[in-house]
Every structure is written in structure tokens, then in C-alpha cells.
Structure 1
């Protein structure tokens, strides 16, 4: 769903070479790049968030050597490799880019058009540097691709009220349950945190904290807690009788501000009274979708 900027090993090596060149005046013992000058995009793929504020984003261009003069060259869109429309979904703020004298990098500045991008759109475009043949490093080429993702403003209150829960736990252990209609509310005094009432069983609360530091990969945090009893799930008591729920590392746990849902894997286990493990029940995937009161009323009429 969510892609980050990808850095290939070769591109990282080029960045290191450029950085080494910049250290020449500080330490004459450094090994410096002394080959030909090449110009290229710093990577072959970028993924950017398009926000309501239409903040610009930058596509970096690199040179392998410094020069004592400004280097200006053109950038063009490769239409046949693009499904985003220039002028509609994005704007290139300048079709030329200049690496100033003494420098090895510059940026192509681009602005996404938030209002023209759908919440589920997968839009991208390809850029090509128009540079002399002698400055092209054919191993890496002169093109890069840019993928844009619409990111709606974060509002914790959008994740309160009625929500419906679907879970693979229902398919495995709660075969008479297809979904649950529950409610949630903000936890006062705890930043960006909500509490879900009765995720699997009535009377048990689950707190979720929203982490929005990475716009392209917003994440969910959840502390260990009791989410039900073994009697409710198995019709008998196992261990200490409690179903403990944790968030397993390495499993997806994210949310969407535009579509107002949470997706996360959890781990459910049963312990003995002495704290030793009886066994892991399941690692189900949960989808929690926030809905309107009207939608909730319709579900209630259907018995949920």
C-alpha cells in the first residue's frame, strides 16, 4: 500500500562518492572520485505524499563531480510511462534544474494537486534529464519515476463513534459472527489515542495510538491487554482463563486518514496462572472501519 523512497545500493555508492568529493578541502588523505562527470537522478523511484496544503516535493538530481560553473539542463515528462496528467494531478514548477558552481546536487521542484487526486488513485509519472551524451552514465540512465499518494489531514476525532469490525478470528473461532458493530472514543490525556469498546467481546476495551510521523506509513501502537476470556471463545476455561492480546512485531499495523480505517494484525495467547504460556490461539488480521450513524442504524436493524 504504502511505498517509501527506495535507494539502490548503486545509487548509495554514488552519493558516497559525491560526499567524498566534498571533503577534499578538509582531509587530503580521503579517496576522491576522479572519473568522468555524470549527471543523473539520485534514485530510480520516489514516493511522495500529496497533502491538502499542496506542499511541493523535490526530486533530487546528482553529479559525480563538482564544476566551477553553473550547470543548467532541462527535465521532461515521459508521457508513455506516466498515468498522472501534468497540470491536472501535478505541476512541475520549473522544467530546468541548475546545479550551482561548486555543488553536486539540485532538485526538480514539483507540486501535487490534492483536489484532483482520488483517495484510492495510484498515480505516477516518469521524468527524463535532457543532458549531453557525454554526461550520461548509461548503467543508470537518465530517468526516474515518481509515485504520488493522497494523504488526508489527520484528525483523531475521525476515528471516533461507530465502527464495524471484521476479523479473521471470526472465520476461525467465531463462526456465527461475520462482523461486530462497536463504538470508540478519544482517550483524554493520551495523545492521538482512542479506545475501542468490545473489539471481540463486550466489556473489554482496546486502546490504539495513532502515529503520524511518516505520512506514507502511518502506524498503530497497542499495548498488551485482556481482550476476552477463554470461556467466551472456547466454552471452557484454559490456563488463567484470559485471552491476552499483543501487537506482534513485523506485522502490518496501519491506518488510513482518507478512508477512515485501521488494519492490524494482533497476537492472542493464553497464559497459566504462574505466567507461563499455555499456547498461542491465533494471529488474526483485523479491519476496523468508521461509519456514519445512519449506516450504524442500518446494521442494528440487521441484528448487529
Structure 2
């Protein structure tokens, strides 16, 4: 991507500039080009309809304002301008002495579905002499609808399907479990899932709210989720089956559809706290459902 290349170029230039006290700074002295700062952007469209900015860069500054148009490339877009988004101005200006500006866009939250995959392509309308053939004059913007986060949506009845529950490791070998969850008081954005695999054990997970485009699930390691007697019909190690979330895989949640997709590693420790053995890493999908849906599952024996 352009950002990485430009970053590398900047780093190399900085090293050259620092290599000798008597050397002059290395500056770009080629032609003046205009371009989007990157070839792909992803933005969250939220209920508040915030304005997001698509950056445009120049390779050098000049002593006059540069105003140019921006147009949508319809054949490369499936989002509809005026319905799914609006461009606040089809012309932008890089002011004299500056090297950047932004195309301001506003997503239209109410017209985007929770499972929609929408995007559009933009093109700078500039003379060929100001187009750098290496990068071109286009970019693509992907819009992702993000519903507001409400931890209450992750409480109450939920159903869990898991590669552990359907594996030979699980004594009952079922296709799903009907369970419940509650907010953990005193812990921010944390819930306790009751009986994830076996009755009588709580598993706490937290929702990372730092980046709405990266809704990550976090969990403290080595939480007890069963005894080895319940899981394997015999005692192993310290007799406790523990659950942790591996860092090698990404576990996440969805505010659009109220579910958690989680990787979970099951293990057993020795009595001295050292590792006795790893059962395996499994996938959990936890979906929150209505009371009516829960009653139907109960009628089916879950």
C-alpha cells in the first residue's frame, strides 16, 4: 500500500540525512503530483452519521491554491450516492504551502443494512501531468455499518455452538447448548456466561471498545470451566479443565447481530501450576436470542 511505501521512503530519507553532519537534508525535488493517500479505506458508519475523511496528498507544496474535482466511478461502486452516502463537496482544495486535504463523506446509517457490504470508488479529476503513473488517481472506500454497543444486548438467553461440544472430547456430544449470561458488576464491559460447556461454571469475557472496526473479545486465561471428571470421566492433573483465549487467533463480537465468535483453548494444569496437557483449540459461537426463541429451544430439549 502507498502508506507503507511512502513511510519506507521517508525512513530511508531520514537515515541518509542523518548519516553525516555536513550533508544537506534529502528532499523530494521531482514533479508535483496529486493522489489519494492510500488505495483502500474502510470506515464505520454509525448511528450518529459522523463525517469521515478520505485523504488526498501532494508530493510537494506550491505557492498557490490547488482546487480540483472528485468524481465517483460508478462501474466500480455498489453503494449509491445520495442513498448510502453523500460527498459533502465534489471539489477540494490544497491550500498554498500545504500538501494535503480531505474529501469529506457522510454515510447514511438508516439506509445501510447490518449485513450489507457496500463501497464506492473515487477518482481525482486532475491533468495527466499531475498524475503519478505508479499510483494513479483512484481509491476505494468500504463502508461498514456499526450498530451502537449496549452490553445489555449480550445478556439473557443465548445459544452456544462449538467445535468442542460436537467433538469426541465432549462426553454428551451435542449440537448446541442453551445458556444465559449477566453483566459482571465492577468490571467494565464484562459479562459472565453461565454454563458455557458444563453447568455450574461461569466464564467471563470482556468487550474491547477501543476501535469500532475491531470489536475484539478478551478473556482472562485459565478460567475453570469443568472438572476433568465431568469432561473425561477421570482425574487428570489438578482435576480442573481450564479455558483460555489464544493470542494467535482473533476473537470478536458483533453489535449488528449480537454474537461472539471466540477461539478457546482447553487445558489441564498439574497441582504445582505447570501445564499437564492441552486438550485442543476450539471455536465457540455464542448468539443472544429472545425469550420466545429460548422457549422453543427448551421445548426441543435444550
CA distance in 1, matches of 2:2, 2:293: 44
Give the 4+ runs in structure 1 shifted more than 6 A: 14-19
Q: How does 1:1-304 map to 2 (within 5 A)?
A: 8-13=3-8, 29-172=24-167, 173-174=169-170, 176-224=173-221, 225-304=223-302
| Structure 1 residues without counterparts, runs of 5 or longer | 1-5, 20-27
Tell me, yes or no, if the aligned pair for 2:270 and 2:276 is still in contact at 8 Å: yes
What is the distance in 2 between the residues matched to 1:81 and 1:90? 15
C-alpha separation between the residues in 2 aligned to 1:238 and 1:257? 39
How many pairs were matched up? 293
Distance of aligned partners of 1:16 and 1:65 in 2 relative to their CA distance in 1, 3 Å threshold: farther
Q: Does the 8 Å CA contact 2:3/2:37 hold for their aligned counterparts?
A: no
Task: Provide TM-score, normalisation by structure 2.
Answer: 0.93
Contact 1:267 1:280 in 2 (8 A): yes
Q: TM-score, normalised by structure 1?
A: 0.92
Q: Once the two structures are superposed, what CA deviation does each residue of 1:203-227 show, in whole Å capped at 9, x if it has no partner? A: 0101111111111111111112101
SS at match of 2:165: helix
RMSD, aligned CA: 2.0
Evaluate the alpha carbon distance shift between residue 65 and residue 73 of structure 1 in structure 2; reply closer, same or farther with a 3 A threshold.
same
> C-alpha deviations, 1:67-123, integer Å up to 9, x for none?
111100000000010000000000000001100111000000000000110101100
Distance 1:246 1:106 in 2: 46
Contact 1:18 1:65 in 2 (8 A): no
Paired with 1:150 and 1:143, the residues of 2 have a C-alpha distance of: 23
Aligned-pair distance for 1:8? 4.6
Q: Secondary structure at the match of 1:107?
A: strand
Q: Is the Cα–Cα contact under 8 Å of residues 269 and 279 in structure 1 kept in the other structure?
A: yes
Deviation at 1:10, TM superposition (A): 2.3
Once the 2 structures are TM-superposed, how far is the Cα of residue 17 of structure 1 from its aligned partner?
Answer: 9.8
Q: Mind listing any 5+ residue stretches in structure 2 that lack a counterpart? A: 15-22
User: How far is 1:7 from its partner?
Assistant: 5.5
Supply the distance in 1 between the matched residues of 2:110 and 2:213 (Cα, whole angstroms). 18
